[in-house]
Amino acid sequence: MSDTERRVAHAWQAREMDVAGRWTSTVVLGDGTSALIRPITPEDAPALSDFHNRQSDESRYRRFFSPLTDLSERDLEYLSDIDHHDHEALAAIDPETGIVGVARFVRTKDGHAEASIAVGDEWQHRGVGTGLLERLAERAREEGVTHFVALVLSENQDALELFENLAPDSPRERTSDCHVELLLELPEPGGLPGSPLARALREAARGVVTMNPWRVLVETIRATWHNRPGR
């Protein structure tokens, strides 16, 4: 490793430690239990694989639009080795179960980022998604993100109808492959509850709709990952 590569590696490590120190917290859930929420690190790859494997076939299909049974080593690297600036991911962790929910954003251009959230089947309706969403929005604002982009596949008519009701005034446009891209503004601090963004991502966390599915999100993650210094 050259001196330049060593300095870059040390800078990334220092940033990771700083973000982890400031953004690790405990959330009390609706049933009185608690979960730790913190940024994901490369060491979380096995836990992310376990989280994926614990999901039902239906949940995995909704997220990946295929009967994907296992995440590859490269997939897990993309999902866990992140820069905490253009790509951030937060995990909700139960001390006995492990990871029970993940929320992430991946920047697409200045001020805009694709967002996704997944909560374990057995942890639905307990406040995990809300806790993750609140912290993800705060992290995004800190990194200069002003809007989350929700890309909904054109064949997902249920999702399109739901978004039409949730955020009728949100800007939307057709992508080159005819999918629908919606722009959801991040509300000011304290303004998240009841906002179109909160309602949209909460439905995504519950599995009611799928936004920014894996086949869409992975392309943005790959670009971010390979554009990092030292790659």
Q: Which of 11, 197, 25, 40 is nearest to 103 (CA)?
A: 40
Q: What is the pLDDT of residue 16?
A: 66
C-beta of residue 131 within 8 angstroms of C-beta of residue 116: no
Q: What is the pLDDT along the chain (231 residues), one digit of tens a residue?
A: 566 656 655 565 666 666 766 889 898 888 888 999 999 999 999 999 999 888 876 666 555 544 455 778 888 888 898 889 999 999 999 999 999 999 989 998 889 998 888 888 888 888 898 889 889 989 999 999 998 887 666 565 665 665 566 555 655 555 555 466 777 888 777 777 777 777 776 666 665 555 555 656 677 777 776 666 655
Q: Which of 94, 97, 92, 83 is nearest to 119 (CA)?
A: 92
CATH 2.60.40.10 for domain 3-226, yes or no, is no
Q: What is the pLDDT of residue 66?
A: 47
Q: Which amino acid is at 21?
A: G
pTM of the model: 0.79
Parse the chain into domains and list their residue ranges.
3-226
Separation in Å, CA 64 to CA 17, 37, 55, 153: 31, 24, 12, 12
Q: What is the pLDDT of residue 89?
A: 94
Separation in Å, CA 103 to CA 14, 136, 201: 22, 7, 10
